[in-house]
Chain A
Amino acid sequence: KQEVTQIPAALSVPEGENLVLNCSFTDSAIYNLQWFRQDPGKGLTSLLLIQSSQREQTSGRLNASLDKSSGRSTLYIAASQPGDSATYLCAVLGNQFYFGTGTSLTVIP
């Protein structure tokens, strides 16, 4: 069974800092990997989708990379802002979607 791990579980950084969130998965037979943002008590907002044939995707200050062979993805956030504070979840699609438990990010003004 696919296992998805996100480290660290929580991260606190000062405003303006660049940061990297990590996602690892045990089975490289995936169709895609998706990064989500979740604000407290809310649903999931899709940030980036990387297909298995792709190496990275960018949207604004966000850049996600995928190394399928090593079972790793990173989400890079440039010039962090307090509004980036949220929980970030990665999910991989194999025979179903498997989610990590998330990284709770706090950006301190």
Chain B
Amino acid sequence: DAMVIQNPRYQVTQFGKPVTLSCSQTLNHNVMYWYQQKSSQAPKLLFHYYDKDFNNEADTPDNFQSRRPNTSFCFLDIRSPGLGDAAMYLCATSRGRTGPYEQYFGPGTRLTVT
């Protein structure tokens, strides 16, 4: 089945130690999104790629970076994780950015910072 895959499902990192989260998709969608979701909160959009075009949200900290080497893969890099970065990180895809496009989500990566 076509899907959105995130690895790892659970990640523990130390305060200040760089970490990379991975997302891949078999849907061949143009847009890939990264969201941060903290407990009992709505998902918060960090950034998205439309093809190779990177779009950063204004309030996304510089500590968060992303790479999309090809259509299928997108990575979230946290350069120096702080305790406040502990959250669920959700990757999503859609065919287009504006229009009647459905979002498809991966299972998420739960990040713990010790």
Contact with A34, one of B33, B88, B103 (Cβ below 8 angstroms): B103
Q: Mark A75-108, 1 if CB is under 8 A from B, else 0.
A: 0000000000000010101011101111000000
Indicate whether A42 sits within 8 Å of B102 (C-beta atoms), given known contacts A99-B42, A100-B42: no
Indicate whether A46 sits within 8 Å of B98 (C-beta atoms), given known contacts A99-B43, A101-B41, A102-B42: no
A-B contacts, 28 listed (Cβ < 8 Å) = A31-B98, A31-B100, A31-B101, A32-B101, A32-B102, A34-B103, A36-B105, A41-B88, A41-B108, A41-B110, A42-B107, A43-B6, A43-B105, A44-B43, A44-B90, A44-B103, A46-B102, A46-B103, A46-B104, A49-B102, A89-B42, A93-B100, A95-B98, A96-B45, A96-B48, A97-B33, A101-B41, A101-B42
